[in-house]
Amino acid sequence: PHAGYLINLGSPEEEGLARSREAFLDEVRRCAALGLASLNVHPGSHKGLISEEECLRRVAGSVDRALAAIRGVTVVLENTAGAGGTVGRDFEQLARVIGLVRDRSRVGVCLDTCPLFAAGYDLRTRRGYERTLREFEEAVGCTFLKGLHLNDSKSALGSRVDRHESLGEGQLGWAPFKWIMRDERFEGIPLILETPDPSRWADEIARLYDLLA
C-alpha cells in the first residue's frame, strides 16, 4: 500500500509535521491491523524553508516514531523527481535517511522508474541502466530494495517533473522494462504497475511477461 500523498514526513512547519506524523502513524497502524508487511511513502519536502539536511533528519525522525510505536511493519521510502523541494531525488539522500533511522532492519526503498528518469538517471541505454543500479548499490545497497514501480515518463530526462505514462508510450520506451523483467537482482521483489490508463493494464502486464521470453 501507498501512504497518503499529502503526508510530509520532513515538513518544515511544526504544526504540519505533527499532523503528518500522526497521519503516517495511523497508516502504519492500519497496515499492522491488516497484516501488511510494509508501507510505501514519499519522504517529504522542505518547501525551501529549511535545509535539505534538516528535512532528511525530520524524515528519519518521523520514521523512527512510527517504527517505535508499531511492530511488524517496514517503512519503504520511494524516490522522487525532486520538484517543489522534495527530498529523495537521489540515492545519497535516501541513504542519508536510512543511515539516520535507528532500526534499519525495518526500512527500505522502492524505486519508481518515472521519477528516477525525471531526476536524471538515464535508463534508456543498457550502460545507463547498469550505471544506475551500480550507483544505487554503492549508495544504498540492494538489500534495502523492497519494490519497483513501473512507469514510463511523459517528462524529459532531468526535468524533475514526475508525470507517469503508459509503458512504451513515453520517454523511456520498452527497453528498460525488458532489462528489469530479465534482471535476476529483482527476483522476489514486487513490480507494481502505476501507469495512468486502467484500460491498458492487462495488455501492459501481458507485454511485460512476454519480455521474459
% pLDDT > 90, the chain: 99
Cα 183 from chain centroid? 19
CB 150 within 8 A of CB 194: yes
Phi/psi region, residue 64 (left: phi>0; alpha: psi -120 to 50; beta: rest), is alpha
pTM: 0.95
- pLDDT for the residue 213: 83
Instruction: Please spell the DSSP secondary structure of 3-70, one letter per residue.
Output: --TT--TT-SSHHHHHHHHHHHHHHHHHHHHHT--EEEE--EE-TTTS-HHHHHHHHHHHHHHHHHH-
- pLDDT for the residue 53: 98
Low-confidence stretches of the chain (pLDDT < 70) are none
Name 50's Cβ contacts closer than 8 Å, sequence gap at least 6. 12, 58
DSSP type of residue 168 = T
- pLDDT for the residue 204: 98
- pLDDT for the residue 115: 98
Taking each helix axis from N to C terminus, what angle separates 52-69 and 14-34, rounded to the nearest 10 degrees?
40
CA distance 61 to 21: 9
